[in-house]
A and B are shown apart, each in its own frame.
Chain A
Amino acid sequence: MRSLLVSFSRILFSFLNPHGSLKLSPASKVHQLTLVKQRSSSTELPMPTDLVNYWQGVFEAQGVPEARASSEYIVSYVLEAKTFQSLRADHLSKPVTVQQLFRVQELSAQRLNRMPIQYIIGEWDFLDLTLMMRPPVFIPRPETELLVALVIEEFQRKMKPRGAEHRDLAAAEASQYPMILEVGCGSGAISLSLLKKFPKSHIVAVDKEEAAVSLTRDNAIRLRLQDRITILQHDILANHSFLLHHNPVDIIVSNPPYIFKDDIASLAPEILSYEDPTALDGGEDGMQIITGILSNTPHFLKLYGDVFLEVDPRHPEMVAEWLRIHPDLHLCVIATHKDFCGKPRFLHLQKG
């Protein structure tokens, strides 16, 4: 047991001279020494809570944002739980093993390099799904959960039988319905959530980047949804001829890159250094891909089909304006929905 303690302190002190260019402030050194001192009177490895507190201190000293949450997620992950909250009381009263200690240190080193937690642990939750995460594929944001909820709500509302006007609904119900196109699928969060919710739906998911296509495919297989999704590497702004092989869809859904070009530089290091910039950059006014999608609705979208988009809060007005000068698309904004912070975030358009 004594040798374990020695190894523990060795781990901590080896950390003071990492192979990276990381410099630890004096504050964190004090933290480390405090932890070792606490433990030197006993021959125990630290308890999970002590470990979380320790790394929280290290992250805070290094200016890593969300120090507590980061620390909790890393330790929980190593202890095979999703959140620290879900760790049961009996697990919390047992000290960690040496392997776990090492593993937490490994992962925390990555966090000190500002890698996003989702990439560090290689997974994240989106609604009811647990998805694999791999850099540089875009990490789903909480707002997008609301986008999916909106699509589901709208579709369920439509599905309520209302008599003659839904004659073709009955016909469509027999086959694949709804047909959905997702532009910029990333990790597959939106597509796979919708597939799960609508057992008869079929989705064509496209993304410009091979890495995203590959990750979406892996997630689809892991969730056993690969039979109802077609994943294509395709740039929506480029030639779209091969997409015409598919029938027009009922719904187009997208969380397209919508950040204004000038805002990119001020993004956090977590995003700038690790996530694919093409998944974020929407051009001069953040509208480039949005307008690209809307321009393609004559080819891809059925009459009375819906378009659901997540956008920057400044976009709803800009989109309305843009639609006014493109009347040939026959698109109109049915509704603008707010996110949890009260910002206009989601657009629901219809072709008609």
Chain B
Amino acid sequence: MSLFRNTLRVTGWLCTTFTQPIRIVPSFVLDVGTAADRTSRRPCSASFLPRLGDAFQQQPLQSFLSRLEEAGPRLGGGGGSRLRLHELLLLVQRMRAREREVRELDGLMQTGESLEVDDESEDLRKLAEDEKVSCQEEIIKLKEQILSLLIPPNEADDSDLILELTAGVGGQEAMLFTAEMFTMYEQYAAYRNWNFEILEYFPSELGGLRRAAASIGGCEAYKNLKYEGGVHRVQRVPKTEKQGRIHTSTMTVAILPQPSEINLIINPKDLRIETKRASGAGGQHVNTTDSAVRITHIPTGVVSECQQERSQLRNREKALQILRAKMYSIKLEEETSRRENTRKIQIGSKGRSEKIRTYNFPQDRITDHRIGRSLHGIDLFMYGEELLHEMIQCLKECADYESLIESLSENAD
């Protein structure tokens, strides 16, 4: 039994280092372990919000599922239901069947232990063990499927995204922190094998970063990074500080999903493209080297610029990418229903002005305020690998849990 648990634990980490995108095994596989196991090994336990893994042992999911099972044969056409209740019921029934099997096998193995051990019973025990393991694996898969049916998918989840970092309060120190955060996300993208392309980069004189934007693409990029949006706060003694006082500075992260061609259609006639070649005859008559491009969407007034490249057409493409992401973000916000305002984990512009995380260097601690979660090891965290990944997975599960609760309360009949 313990071997099985260990394998799952290892699998969780292995997923992150494969070169192919492998779906990260959700942490609720740890249901299999004891409570003591859970707290000792997994440092990421939220104190304000329960984890997705606990959902099956708790309300409201428990009562929802039992009501579903009771309703069973009486379930109506289900055509109008968003939750595909029939499908759900089948999964739940299958899960219950497997759970029963596991209990039976447990019972068998216990009886076997009390008898004399000989070759035959040893073989039977092994068989029972294997049977139990495959049942448990199936239970996990079924739980995943049930959850994916219950948690409504987000339209933008499969998109690529634009990451925007802006230095906030704190002058040079804020800009230095922004530069460090940029590097952190760049390294995280490499860690997850995502594409990372810089669209904008405005450094300050002393090695800081005023503002930057990057296009990130890859498997579930937006789905993972969407909870990074908000105000990040740093508390430390700045490099420029002569008296050793601790300062608090901020920077803002914005995550904008990038729409596909279909998700957002822009009429080219609505765009005003400005370049430095506007005056005069243009063409062979002029040799300008300033290839900056600014695009304005006339009806809405949304503007984007790019001067990252020497090729004007490339700058235009990047500026268009930024513009589309901005407009898509606005469109999604309009479509988001009012209920999401009550959530702890906000995405989009509602979340943008919230202080979501504090990086306290003297105490070597990173705290996410939405889930009340703290991690230690800032240097390692800002390396943009496992620690950041853990924090992100934690946020994802908490957000999924909130989504689940909302979804269940909507369908409480």
Interface, chain A (partner B; CB < 8 A): 47, 49, 66, 69-70, 73, 82-83, 85-90, 92-93, 116-118, 124-128, 138-139, 141-143, 145-146, 149, 255, 257-259, 263, 267-268, 270-271, 275, 279-280, 310, 312-313, 339-341, 343, 345
Inter-chain contact B287/A116, CB cutoff 8 Å:
yes
The docked-state distance in angstroms from the alpha carbon of A87 to that of B291 is 17
B305 CB, min distance to chain A CBs, angstroms = 11
B141 CB, min distance to chain A CBs, angstroms = 42
Segment at the interface with A among B91-99, B247-255, B273-281: B273-281
Q: A85-B201, A86-B308, A89-B207 are in contact. Are A127 and B313 (CB under 8 A)?
A: yes
B236 CB, min distance to chain A CBs, angstroms = 18
Q: Which 6 A-B pairs have the closest CB atoms?
A: A93-B207, A142-B312, A125-B310, A145-B313, A89-B179, A69-B290
Q: Is B262 part of the binding interface, using a Cβ–Cβ cutoff of 8 Å?
A: no
**Chain B hits for A127, CB < 8 A:** 311, 313-314
Q: A83-B307, A89-B207, A89-B209 are in contact. Are A69 and B289 (CB under 8 A)?
A: yes
Q: Is B412 part of the binding interface, using a Cβ–Cβ cutoff of 8 Å?
A: no
B21 CB, min distance to chain A CBs, angstroms = 26
Inter-chain contact A47/B205, CB cutoff 8 Å:
yes
The docked-state distance in angstroms from the alpha carbon of A271 to that of B280 is 15
Inter-chain contact B307/A85, CB cutoff 8 Å:
yes
Residue of B nearest to A129 (CB): B311
Within 274-319 of B, Cβ neighbours of A (below 8 Å) are at 275, 277-278, 281-291, 307-314, 316
The docked-state distance in angstroms from the alpha carbon of A126 to that of B204 is 29
Q: Is B35 part of the binding interface, using a Cβ–Cβ cutoff of 8 Å?
A: no
Q: Which of B200, B202, B282 contacts A339 (CB 8 A)?
A: B282
- Residue of A92, A257, A259, A313 with most chain B CB atoms under a 10 A cut-off: A92
B397 CB, min distance to chain A CBs, angstroms = 34
Known pairs A93-B207, A255-B284. 5 more at Cβ < 8 A? A89-B203, A90-B179, A142-B313, A146-B313, A312-B281
Q: Is B3 part of the binding interface, using a Cβ–Cβ cutoff of 8 Å?
A: no
12 residue pairs bridging A and B, Cβ less than 8 Å apart:
A47-B205, A49-B205, A73-B289, A85-B307, A86-B201, A92-B204, A127-B311, A141-B286, A142-B288, A340-B316, A341-B275, A345-B282
Q: Which of A82, A146, A312 contacts B309 (CB 8 A)?
A: A82
**Chain A hits for B275, CB < 8 A:** 142, 340-341
**Chain A hits for B168, CB < 8 A:** none
The docked-state distance in angstroms from the alpha carbon of A146 to that of B283 is 11
Q: Which of A89, A138, A143 contacts B204 (CB 8 A)?
A: A89
Inter-chain contact B289/A143, CB cutoff 8 Å:
no
Inter-chain contact A343/B282, CB cutoff 8 Å:
yes
Q: Is B206 part of the binding interface, using a Cβ–Cβ cutoff of 8 Å?
A: yes
Q: Is B146 part of the binding interface, using a Cβ–Cβ cutoff of 8 Å?
A: no
A263 CB, min distance to chain B CBs, angstroms = 7
The docked-state distance in angstroms from the alpha carbon of A124 to that of B283 is 17
**Chain B hits for A145, CB < 8 A:** 311-313
The docked-state distance in angstroms from the alpha carbon of A340 to that of B315 is 13
Inter-chain contact B283/A83, CB cutoff 8 Å:
no
Inter-chain contact B283/A118, CB cutoff 8 Å:
no
Inter-chain contact A87/B203, CB cutoff 8 Å:
yes
Inter-chain contact B308/A66, CB cutoff 8 Å:
no
Inter-chain contact B286/A268, CB cutoff 8 Å:
yes
B259 CB, min distance to chain A CBs, angstroms = 21
Inter-chain contact A142/B314, CB cutoff 8 Å:
no
Q: Mark B31-53, 1 if CB is under 8 A from A, else 0.
A: 00000000000000000000000
Inter-chain contact B283/A339, CB cutoff 8 Å:
yes
The docked-state distance in angstroms from the alpha carbon of A118 to that of B311 is 12
Q: A125-B310, A340-B277, A341-B277 are in contact. Are A258 and B283 (CB under 8 A)?
A: yes
Inter-chain contact B273/A340, CB cutoff 8 Å:
yes
A45 CB, min distance to chain B CBs, angstroms = 15
Inter-chain contact A85/B308, CB cutoff 8 Å:
yes
Residue of B nearest to A281 (CB): B284
Inter-chain contact B308/A83, CB cutoff 8 Å:
yes
Q: Is B230 part of the binding interface, using a Cβ–Cβ cutoff of 8 Å?
A: no
Inter-chain contact A92/B205, CB cutoff 8 Å:
yes
Inter-chain contact A280/B203, CB cutoff 8 Å:
no
Q: Is B198 part of the binding interface, using a Cβ–Cβ cutoff of 8 Å?
A: yes
Q: Mark B205-228, 1 if CB is under 8 A from A, else 0.
A: 111110000000000000000000
The docked-state distance in angstroms from the alpha carbon of A118 to that of B287 is 10
- Residue of A145, A258, A275 with most chain B CB atoms under a 10 A cut-off: A145
Residue of B nearest to A119 (CB): B287
Q: Which of A117, A128, A259, A263 contacts B289 (CB 8 A)?
A: A117
**Chain A hits for B291, CB < 8 A:** 142
**Chain B hits for A138, CB < 8 A:** 284
B60 CB, min distance to chain A CBs, angstroms = 48
The docked-state distance in angstroms from the alpha carbon of A232 to that of B145 is 65
**Chain A hits for B316, CB < 8 A:** 340
The docked-state distance in angstroms from the alpha carbon of A268 to that of B206 is 37
A67 CB, min distance to chain B CBs, angstroms = 10
The docked-state distance in angstroms from the alpha carbon of A94 to that of B289 is 26
A143 CB, min distance to chain B CBs, angstroms = 5
Q: Which of B201, B208, B273, B289 contacts A70 (CB 8 A)?
A: B289
Residue of B nearest to A130 (CB): B310
**Chain A hits for B198, CB < 8 A:** 86
Inter-chain contact A270/B277, CB cutoff 8 Å:
no
Inter-chain contact A259/B284, CB cutoff 8 Å:
yes
The docked-state distance in angstroms from the alpha carbon of A295 to that of B164 is 53
The docked-state distance in angstroms from the alpha carbon of A271 to that of B209 is 37
The docked-state distance in angstroms from the alpha carbon of A49 to that of B210 is 14
The docked-state distance in angstroms from the alpha carbon of A341 to that of B274 is 8
A212 CB, min distance to chain B CBs, angstroms = 15
- Residue of B288, B289, B308, B312 with most chain A CB atoms under a 10 A cut-off: B289
The docked-state distance in angstroms from the alpha carbon of A312 to that of B280 is 12
Inter-chain contact B286/A88, CB cutoff 8 Å:
no
The docked-state distance in angstroms from the alpha carbon of A16 to that of B281 is 36
The docked-state distance in angstroms from the alpha carbon of A125 to that of B179 is 27
The docked-state distance in angstroms from the alpha carbon of A255 to that of B283 is 10
Inter-chain contact A341/B313, CB cutoff 8 Å:
no
**Chain B hits for A142, CB < 8 A:** 275, 277, 288, 291, 311-313
B185 CB, min distance to chain A CBs, angstroms = 14
Residue of A nearest to B208 (CB): A89
The docked-state distance in angstroms from the alpha carbon of A89 to that of B49 is 38
A3 CB, min distance to chain B CBs, angstroms = 26
Inter-chain contact B289/A312, CB cutoff 8 Å:
no
Inter-chain contact B203/A92, CB cutoff 8 Å:
yes
The docked-state distance in angstroms from the alpha carbon of A127 to that of B310 is 9
